[in-house]
Structure 1
C-alpha cells in the first residue's frame, strides 16, 4: 500500500503544484487558462492519437471491454437520476449531479495508468477513453437537452441532433481518437515525421494537463454544496467502480485490463463539465463545487481504491 501511494503521489503533487501556482498568481492569472487551451486543443489530442494508433483492435477482449464501460456508465446514470428524484432536486441540479456521477477526468486516468501500470496500462487507458469519451458526450448532451430543453448559450432553439453533432465534431479529443484509430486500422501508422512529432507532444501532455487541472480548483465554490454533492460523490466513487468491477468479474476480465477499467470509476469528474453545465442549462455554480471537492477527495480515495482493485483483480 505504501509503495503504491508513492507511485501515485507524483500525480497528485502535480495537481497540488498547479493549485499553489494559481493561488500565488504565478506566473500570471492569464497563464493557466492558456495552458488549459493548449493542453485541450493540442497536447492531449496528440497523446490520444499516439496511443490509439498503437491499440490492437484484433484483440477479442475489445468488445467485452467496451461493454463493461458503457453498461457501467448507464447503470451509474440511472442511480444518479433516481437519487436526484428521491431528493427532489430541480432539473438544473440533477443534470449537474449526472455529470458529476458519470463524467471522468481523462487526463488523470491516463496519468495514473502510465504512472502505476506503465506503457501497457497507458495504451489500455487510451482504449477505454476511445470508448467512453464519445459515449459520455452523446449521452450527456441528449440527457441534458431532454431535462432542460434544446437551448443554446444565447437562448436560441437548437435541435438535439445539432447539439449532439456539435459536441462530437468540435471535441478535439474525439477527433484525435477517430484519426488515431482510423490510421491504425488502415495500417497507415507510423507516419513519417508526423508520428515522431506527435509522440514528442504527447510526452508534454500529462504534466502540463495535471498542472492545469490543479490550477482550475475553485475553493470558493465549495460554499454551494449540499446533499446533492454527497449523492453525486457516492455515484462517482462507489457505484461506478463497483459496477465496473462486477461486470469485469461476470465477463471474465481480470488482470491489467480490469485494473485500468476500474480507474475510470475512481477519478474525479472532468473539469469540462462546468462548460457544458453553462451551455445546456445545468447548475454551473454547483458543478464547479463538485469538480473541486471530487478532485480533493480523489487524493485520498484513489490510492485506497487502486490497492483494493489490485487485491481483487491482479
Structure 2
C-alpha cells in the first residue's frame, strides 16, 4: 500500500533534487533560477490558480465543512507556534520562522502530489482548498510577523504589509478566479486557453525551483527549531485537519484534497519572506530544507493513514 503512494510521488521529489543539482552546477546560471522564481510567482502559478478556480463547480460542494477542516488545521498550527514561543522564550525573529514553518504550506508540492496520486480531476477541488487557505494564511502570517518584528516606525511597516497583501499575485489570482466563476465566465475565448497552457507549465517548473532554493548548508544550523516545526507542520496541522474533517463527516474526496495541504512541507517562499521582513532567514532555510526532505516519507504516510481511517 505504501509503495502505491511512494511511486507516484517519487518523480515529484526527483524533480526537486534535479532542480537543486542544476542550481548547484550553475546550469544554466544562478541568474536564471532567480528570474525563474519570479516567473513562477508572478505568472505561471497565478495562471494555474485562476484557471482552476474559475472552472470549479461549487454546486454540491460542502464548502462550509471543507473550510472548517482547513482552518482547524491552520489554526492549530498557529496556536502550536505561539505555545512554543511562550514555552521556550524564543527570540522574536526566530519565532517568526517557527510560525511559518508550522503554519504555511507548499501549494506547489500539494498540487503536484495530488495530480500524481489521485489524477488531474482532483486539481479543481485542490484549487478550492487553495482559495480558502492562501488569503487567510498570507494575511495571518504576515500580520503576526509584522507585529512581532515591529519597530518604532510601525505605521510605515503596517502600510507596507497592507500594500504587499494588496498586490500579492496569488491573492489576486484567487480573487479573479472567484469573480469569473460567480459571473459564469468559465470558458472565455483566448484567456482560458492561455491560462490553461501557462498553468500546465507551472507545476514542473516550480518543482525545479523548489529544489533550486533548498540550502543544504542551512541544515547544519541549530536543529531544535526545524524539529519543532516538523511537529507543528507534519503532525499538528494534518492531525487537527483530519480530526475536524472526520468529526463533521466531510466527504472523503474533499478531506483527501485538504490533507494534501495539511501533509505538505512548509512553503519554499517562507525563506524569502523571512529575509524581507527581518526574520531568522538561516533558520527558515533549514526548516524548509528539512521539511521538504522528510515530506518524501511523511506525505504518503499521512495520506495512507487518513485513507485507512476513512475507509477510502
- Could you tell me the TM-score, scaled by structure 1's length? 0.94
Structure 1 position 256 matched with structure 2 position 253? yes
Among 265, 268, 271, which residue is 1:268 paired with?
265
Structure 1 position 228 matched with structure 2 position 225? yes
Contact 1:15 1:215 in 2 (8 A): yes
Structure 1 position 186 matched with structure 2 position 186? no
Task: Give 2:149's aligned residue.
Answer: 148
Contact 1:14 1:210 in 2 (8 A): yes
Q: How does 1:294-313 map to 2 (within 5 A)?
A: 294-313=291-310
1:129–1:89 Cα change, 3 Å = same
Task: Give 1:165's aligned residue.
Answer: 162
Distance in 2 separating the partners of 1:60 and 1:195: 23
Contact 1:150 1:157 in 2 (8 A): no
Among 194, 197, 202, which residue is 2:199 paired with?
202
In structure 2, the residue corresponding to 1:270 is in which secondary structure? coil
1:165-210 deviations in whole A, cap 9, x for unaligned?
3232221111111111110100122111111111111111100000
Q: Which moved more, 1:103-112 or 1:297-306?
A: 297-306
Task: Give 2:238's aligned residue.
Answer: 241
Structure 1 position 24 matched with structure 2 position 25? yes
Distance in 1 separating the partners of 2:184 and 2:212: 39
Task: Give 2:118's aligned residue.
Answer: 117
Structure 1 position 127 matched with structure 2 position 128? yes
Task: Give 1:47's aligned residue.
Answer: 48
Distance in 2 separating the partners of 1:275 and 1:157: 22
Contact 1:32 1:215 in 2 (8 A): yes
Task: Give the superposition deviation at 1:156.
Answer: 7.4
Task: Give the superposition deviation at 1:163.
Answer: 4.0
Contact 2:225 2:287 in 1 (8 A): no
In structure 2, the residue corresponding to 1:158 is in which secondary structure? helix
Task: Give the superposition deviation at 1:119.
Answer: 2.3
- Could you tell me the TM-score, scaled by structure 2's length? 0.95
Among 204, 213, 218, which residue is 1:216 paired with?
213
RMSD of aligned C-alpha atoms?
1.6
Which blocks of at least 5 consecutive residues in structure 1 are unaligned? none
Distance in 2 separating the partners of 1:17 and 1:250: 41
Distance in 1 separating the partners of 2:222 and 2:247: 36
Distance in 2 separating the partners of 1:53 and 1:212: 26
Distance in 2 separating the partners of 1:167 and 1:241: 29
Contact 1:225 1:290 in 2 (8 A): no
Distance in 1 separating the partners of 2:272 and 2:8: 32
1:186–1:136 Cα change, 3 Å = same
Q: Which moved more, 1:186-195 or 1:303-312?
A: 303-312
Distance in 2 separating the partners of 1:262 and 1:195: 28
Distance in 2 separating the partners of 1:136 and 1:167: 14
Contact 2:48 2:198 in 1 (8 A): yes
Task: Give the superposition deviation at 1:13.
Answer: 1.1
In structure 2, the residue corresponding to 1:282 is in which secondary structure? coil
